Amino acid sequence: MSHLFSARAQMGTSLAFHIIFSVLGVGLPVLLCVAEGLALRYKDPHWMRLARQWSKAFAIVFAIGAVSGVIVEFEIALLWPSFARFIGGVAGLPFAMEGFAFFLEGIFLGLYLYGWNRLSPRAHWLCSFPLWISGGASAWFIMTANSWMNSPAGFTLKNGVITNVRPFAAIANPATPYETTHMILGCYVAVGFAVAAVYAFAWLRGQRTAYNRKGLLLGLAMASIAIPLQVVSGDPNARFLETSQPAKYAAMEGLLHSGRGQPLYILGIPDQKTGQVYLAIQIPHGESLLAHFNLNSYSKGLDQIPKADQPNAIVVHLTFDLMVFCGFFLLLAALLFWWFFLRGNRTLPDKRWLLWGLVACGPLGFLAIESGWMVTEEGRQPWVIYGIMRVSDAATPSPWVNVSFAIFSLVYVVLGATLVLLLLRLARNPLPERTWEEYFVTTPAPQAAISPDKMQEATE
Amino acid sequence: MILTGIVMALLWGCIIAYAVLGGADFGGGVWSLLASGPTAARQQRLIEHAIGPVWEANSVWLIYLVVGLLTAFPLVAYTLAVALFVPFTLALLGIVLRGAAFAFETHITGSVNLRQAWGHTFSTASTITPFLLGAGAAAVASGQIHYRNGAVQADRFTPWLMPFALVMGAVALSLCATLAAVYLTVEASHQKDHEMAEVFRLRALIAGAVTAGFGLLGLLLAPGEAPIIWHGLGHQALPVVIITMLLGLGTAFALYLRRYLLARGLVIAMTAGLLSAWGLAQMPYIVPPDLTLSNSASSPAMLGAFLGSAIVGMAFLLPSLWFLFRVFKGNQPTPAVRGRDLEES
Ligand code: HDD
Ligand code: HEM
Ligand code: HEM
């Protein structure tokens, strides 16, 4: 394995792992907040049980999110020191601000998870607000850093020397509004559908309880608000890329040649060597129409980009199509569900195909996130800072990157496997049903009198 | 220049906060590894209970330190990332395994083997990591990491594997253990568990003595292996060195008298003193002998923005942190409202 390849593979694996937990960290607190709020408002034990069950899962998920985040943070410096030095001096501010969002998230998470019995119900509920606000804020800040890599701004480069640094202009770079919106919405989409999928599956297995119904509806409600916005926000994002990162755009659309009246390629293999797109479904004039509302408008293809500056069109095109497919599938599933739900007097539709469709939406939301990221990151290649620094110039000179790649990959396998095991156990042994009063009866706590095995009982 | 100094002081404050808060979490892992005697299981339970609500927040100090260094002193971040690739990667591995293992260990129900496996991972990683971080710090202090003609020049191994570095690694490790043991005496006496308080009082005294021993050994090695630091310790940092030593003795005395709260305050002050002495001793270098405050700092615009964001951030952070520690670590921690859910409290 080449040195550079290992570094890229390690970075990509780490980020692809981390993003799963980040997304949950942004989305789940919103559901926690709403569920607990509904519980308190209606004195409803089901909502309370949902909130508590989710918070148990969140405890584990967040911990893995935090440690995988630490890996990524260090790797930026350890694997790409030249890049880190450049971005630090110009666009380091969002990383620093993100640090405070992490602090608040960590603090209120501790209060939320361990404070069920130490805070008053209302104070406890209020602790979920900083949780989702700082989750969204950390996503926003880190996205501005990524946007900056795609459309660097806020400095002047003269003979290789950085001058005139404007930290806030770096944060407000041209890609920021598009990427931040699209990403944060994506978190709500993916988490909403994932939660709905869990309860749809339970429903299919015959567990038709009020508890499962509420879980499904709340997850799907959040997802359904976000998914149309998500699809709608993807479109200006793509349009913006046509001018700001033409190579990425051409690769996404599979456009190997420039010209007028370009077709829309769905799937297919854009071969940069032969200049042909194989096996694609072609919609004549489709790209020109979608991009400029004009059947014969002109679009740039990869042929206008020097060979050395081209990304891998096959990867970028196919992952883009995958994301768009997921987006429309999710949108359709949500529409169909609410249609049948409202027609059926607010009973969960008893259609197995629809419920199985919802189950499929769980993984598809995350697949959309991962594939969207492949578009962004692979489409930027060979640049780490678009047009300014190449990936190959950013990599660490240290040997042993291969070794560290192997070790960290193993760590991800072990962490992932244990986590899945724990979450499955948690799902199989849900918290016991309780009445509303049981959640809040105040009994004096004879702490020392409770032996460890009794505690174990309380856990089951 | 004043701005650079303030930003550096802020980052140094983060090192101290990480040592005092995160370091104690590492130390908890060490004591979990060394738990022995008839009360071993209870010791581990107390440690788990103490770390649970706060470790996520505690570990953010390290993250903030990394991003702060990146933002305010990018050249330093670059130099250290290149020169100390190996120890930092290993420390990273330790940090990750430790955090994950702690979360897994506390949430695994049922399988005893799995729980034990992660428990061992937690304590082993807690032991190795502070050692590596201490050795890395000594490598920085040693003056063997050079940045010349636009390139980093350093041996990949000697700076962090020479005797001085190994001794400083041991200092870091035993300091973490001391901190944790002192905090646990407070924790135990809050729970009115005097037996546990005695257990950790003894451990705190032993760990403190070990720390002092290694510290003196480090001082003996310093003239040969870290001359810049040695010089600074004898000059501008001398008063702080003396105060630190007195604080160390004071901690031992407070423990002896079973004044646990006082001991906690003193050991925190001692840790802060130790790190401040180091910082002062190598002024104005960040990475001696080539990188100083002024030749490695970001542009003033960046430093200003960084400082501004830190002030705004602290305005949110400090009250929240105060609240967290009041709820879980306060003098009179808020009592559990309900007995039934003890596992969550
Ligand atoms: C639930 C997830 C999800 C869904 C359903 C979609 N996306 Fe997406 N997309 C993402 C999740 C995502 C993402 C993972 O969040 C990305 C990666 C980087 C970013 O900013 O958002 C992304 C990136 C991304 C980019 C590249 C941005 C860049 O590199 O600067 C474009 C052009 C689109 N998306 C367009 C779309 C379109 C036209 C969709 C229509 C169906 C769509 N996305 C659905
Ligand atoms: C969390 C979602 C993300 C995923 C799944 C992701 C994925 C990837 C992948 C697959 C690569 C390897 C690309 C290649 O070399 O072929 C990569 C590289 C990289 N990413 Fe991302 N990325 C994400 C977010 C980010 C963010 C938010 C940042 C910065 C703030 C970032 C910074 C980098 C850097 C510095 C590299 C190495 C240089 C390069 O290969 O371009 N990534 N990422
Ligand atoms: C777009 C991609 C990303 C998003 C949306 C995101 C978001 C988040 C969120 C919400 C958390 C909280 C932990 C959790 O809920 O699991 C988190 C943790 C973390 N992230 Fe990411 N992140 C992204 C990429 C990155 C990158 C590129 C870095 C490194 C530069 C990074 C560094 C961290 C760190 C250090 C933590 C741990 C914080 C803690 O200890 O609480 N993240 N991230």
Residue-level pLDDT at A288: 87
Residue-level pLDDT at A294: 85
Task: Tell me the HSE value of A169 on the side-chain side, using a 13 A CA sphere.
Answer: 10
A109 found inside a domain: no
Relative to the alpha carbon of A334, which ligand is closest?
1
Q: Confidence class of residue B78 from pLDDT cuts 50, 70 and 90?
A: very high
Give the gap in angstroms from C-alpha A249 to the nearest C-alpha of chain B. 31
Domain total in chain B: 1
Q: Confidence class of residue B5 from pLDDT cuts 50, 70 and 90?
A: very high
A83 found inside a domain: no
A119 found inside a domain: no
Instruction: Give the domain extent around A335.
Output: 230-396
Give the gap in angstroms from C-alpha B251 to the nearest C-alpha of chain A. 29
**Rounded average pLDDT over B107-128:** 84
A318 lines ligand 2 (CB under 6 A): no
CA distance B156 to A398: 9
Residue A143 CA: which ligand 2 atom is closest? 27
Task: State yes or no: pLDDT of B265 exceeds 90.
Answer: yes
Nearest residue by C-alpha to atom 1 in ligand 2: A19
Tell me, yes or no, if A122 comes closer than 8 A to chain B by beta carbon: no
Amino acid type, A323: M
Residue-level pLDDT at B153: 85
A260 found inside a domain: yes
> Is the omega angle on the peptide bond into residue B284 within 30 degrees of 0, that is, cis?
yes
Residue A228 is encoded by which pair of tokens? 């149309």
* Chain B residues within an 8 Å CB radius of A18: none
A142 found inside a domain: no
What's B308's domain CATH number? Answer: 1.20.1630.10
3-state secondary structure chain A: CCHHHHHHHHHHHHHHHHHHHHHHHHHHHHHHHHHHHHHHHHCCHHHHHHHHHHHHHHHHHHHHHHHHHHHHHHHHHHHCHHHHHHHHHHHCHHHHHHHHHHHHHHHHHHHHHHCCCCCCHHHHHHCHHHHHHHHHHHHHHHHHHHHHHHCCCCCEEECCEEECCCHHHHHCCCCHHHHHHHHHHHHHHHHHHHHHHHHHHHHHCCCCCHHHHHHHHHHHHHHHHHHHHHHHHHHHHHHHHHHHCHHHHHHHHCCCCCEECCCEEECCEEECCCCEEECCEEECCHHHHHHHCCCCCEECCHHHCCHHHCCCHHHHHHHHHHHHHHHHHHHHHHHHHHHHHHHCCCCCCCCHHHHHHHHHHHHHHHHHHHHHHHHHHHHHCCEEECCCEEHHHHCCCCCCHHHHHHHHHHHHHHHHHHHHHHHHHHHHCCCCCCCHHHHHCCCCCCHHHCCHHHHHHHHC
Q: CA A136: distance to chain centroid?
A: 11
Instruction: Find which of B18, B302, B327 to mutate to test the A interface (most A CBs within 10 Å of its CB).
Output: B302
> Distance of CA A127 to CAs A91, A124, A388, B85, Å?
31, 5, 43, 39
A173 found inside a domain: no
The sign of the torsion formed by the CA atoms of A81, A83, A85, A87 equals: negative
Relative to the alpha carbon of A79, which ligand is closest?
2
Q: What is the pLDDT of residues B266-320, one digit of tens each?
A: 999 999 999 999 999 988 898 888 888 888 889 999 999 999 999 999 999 999 9
Element (H, E) at B239: helix B238-256
Establish whether this prediction's ipTM goes over 0.95: no
Residue-level pLDDT at B334: 43
* Chain B residues within an 8 Å CB radius of A138: none
Q: How far is the CA of A107 from the centre of ligand 3 (A)?
A: 15
Tell me, yes or no, if A47 comes closer than 8 A to chain B by beta carbon: no
CA distance A259 to B221: 72
Q: pLDDT (tens digit, 0 to 9) for every residue of chain A, 460 residues total?
A: 588 999 999 999 999 999 999 999 999 999 999 999 999 999 899 999 999 999 989 988 998 999 999 999 999 999 999 999 999 999 999 999 999 999 899 889 989 988 888 888 899 999 999 999 999 999 999 999 999 999 999 999 888 888 888 999 999 999 999 999 999 999 999 999 999 999 999 999 988 999 999 999 999 999 999 999 999 999 999 999 999 999 999 999 999 999 888 999 999 999 998 888 888 898 888 888 888 888 888 999 999 999 899 999 999 999 999 999 999 999 999 999 999 999 988 888 888 999 999 999 999 999 999 999 999 999 998 999 999 999 999 988 888 898 999 999 999 999 999 999 889 888 888 888 888 877 875 544 444 333 343 333 333 2
Instruction: Give the domain extent around B300.
Output: 2-343
**Ligand 2 test: best mutation among A5, A6, A15, most atoms within 8 Å of CB?**
A15
* Chain B residues within an 8 Å CB radius of A167: 301-302, 305-306
Nearest residue by C-alpha to atom 9 in ligand 3: A22
**Rounded average pLDDT over B2-22:** 92
A76 lines ligand 2 (CB under 6 A): yes
Q: Chain A 375-434, CB below 8 Å of chain B: which residues?
A: 396-398, 400, 404, 407-408, 411, 415, 418-419, 421-422, 425, 429
Residue B37 is encoded by which pair of tokens? 């005697």
Task: State yes or no: pLDDT of B341 exceeds 60.
Answer: no
A352 found inside a domain: yes
Domain total in chain A: 1
End-to-end CA distance of chain B: 48
Chain B: residue whose CA lies nearest to A98: B64
A366 lines ligand 2 (CB under 6 A): no
* Chain A residues within an 8 Å CB radius of B25: none
Residue A380 CA: which ligand 1 atom is closest? 29
Nearest residue by C-alpha to atom 11 in ligand 2: A12
Q: What is the pLDDT of residues B38-51, one digit of tens each?
A: 878 888 888 888 78
Nearest residue by C-alpha to atom 17 in ligand 3: A22
